[in-house]
Amino acid sequence: MKHYLSLVTFTHTIFAMPFALASFVMATLYHGAGFSWTLLIHVVLCMVFARTAAMGFNRWLDRDIDANNPRTKVREIPAGIVSPKAALVFVIVNCLLFIATTWFINPLCFYLSPVALLVVLGYSYTKRFTWLCHLVLGLGLGLAPVGAWLAVTGSFALMPVLFGTAVLFWTAGFDVIYALQDEEFDRSNRLYSMPAFLGKTKALRVSEILHVVSACAMLAATYLLHQYLPQAGWLSWVAAAVFLGLLVYQHSLVKPNDLSRVNRAFFTSNGVASAVFGVLTVVDLLT
């Protein structure tokens, strides 16, 4: 189990999970439905199964690429710790569990489950033909708050879509930063990424633009939150401010000629941004 959790870097679930949980609370209060632990567990399971399937598929599909990259050749499949066949079975099981769990939520979530899987699994192919791959990854994580809202209400609304948009461009921006490490490898192996296409300096500018868009979507979503829910108070604005502040902070850590703090910007800054946003928003709505 430890090897499989490492294969899919399970700890990275922290990036999207707080947004899903915050959206779940928002939807519950807006919809006027009683809080359901069963439904919450189903939403969490869907998040875990979908993300595990997506990351496992990425590792399986990229196994030959990872084996040739000095930074990734120690990953479980190229290192021989997990076989490609076992990894693929693991992915299929998680896909089936995801679809099965949506069946217990509501018909709309069940009918849309293949679409969600198409997005999160399809991302793994995009680096082979488009430097917009970072936005596809962002779209996959951006589905989290929208999916949680649909699980509770069974219908779409602008507010969760705006939160999803904030997550989309936030994720795309920090994925561009992470991809800086593989600029030369991607270019020499004809893989598509912003750094390989534009170079480090211009890719960082693109990342900044993506995060500006994320910030605008976050502010718009937080404003709508106060229109949708009278329970929302000042803490939700603090949550948005912390999130925006950490976007700025991560860009202060990374320079085109100094990538020594990429992991700090990627893992620590973004993990804290997501967790703080989720905790403060939920506390604001429930107190």
Q: For residue range 227-285, list pLDDT tens digits in order.
A: 999 999 999 999 999 999 999 999 888 888 888 888 777 677 888 999 999 999 999 99
Name the residue range of residue 58's domain: 2-286
Report how far residue 180's alpha carbon sits from residue 253's, in angstroms, rounded to the nearest whole number: 13
CB 210, CB 176: distance < 8 Å: yes
Model pTM?
Answer: 0.94
pLDDT higher than 70, residue 80:
yes
Residue 81 tokens, joined: 């710790």
Report the DSSP beta bridge partners of residue 255.
258
Q: Which residue has 């602008």 as its token pair?
A: 158
Report how far residue 86's alpha carbon sits from residue 120's, in angstroms, rounded to the nearest whole number: 20
Name the nearest CA neighbour of 24 among 150, 164, 166. Answer: 150
First to last CA, the chain: 38
Give Cβ neighbours of residue 117 (< 8 Å, ≥ 6 apart).
Answer: 50, 53, 95, 98, 99
Q: Report DSSP state, residue 134.
A: H
Report how many helices (DSSP H) and strands (DSSP E) the chain contains, helices first.
Answer: 14, 0
Q: For residue range 106-154, list pLDDT tens digits in order.
A: 999 999 999 999 999 999 999 999 999 999 999 999 999 999 999 999 9
Report how far residue 234's alpha carbon sits from residue 281's, in angstroms, rounded to the nearest whole number: 10
What is the chain's percent helix, strand, coil content, to nearest 5? Answer: 80, 0, 20
Taking CA atoms, 270 is separated from 11, 12, 40, in Å, by 12, 10, 24
Residue 201 tokens, joined: 């300096």
Mean local confidence (pLDDT), 207-223: 97
Q: Check residue 234 and give its pLDDT.
A: 96
pLDDT higher than 80, residue 14:
no
Q: Among 11-15, 27-31, 142-146, 278-282, which stretch is predicted with the lowest mean pLDDT?
A: 11-15
Number of domains composing the chain: 1
Name the nearest CA neighbour of 251 among 186, 182, 180, 167. Answer: 180
Name the nearest CA neighbour of 240 among 199, 200, 197, 284. Answer: 284
Q: Check residue 10 and give its pLDDT.
A: 60
Burial class (CB in 10 A: 0-12, 13-18, 19+), 130: middle
CATH number of the domain at 78, please.
1.10.357.140
pLDDT band per the 50, 70, 90 thresholds, residue 11: low
Mean local confidence (pLDDT), 97-106: 98
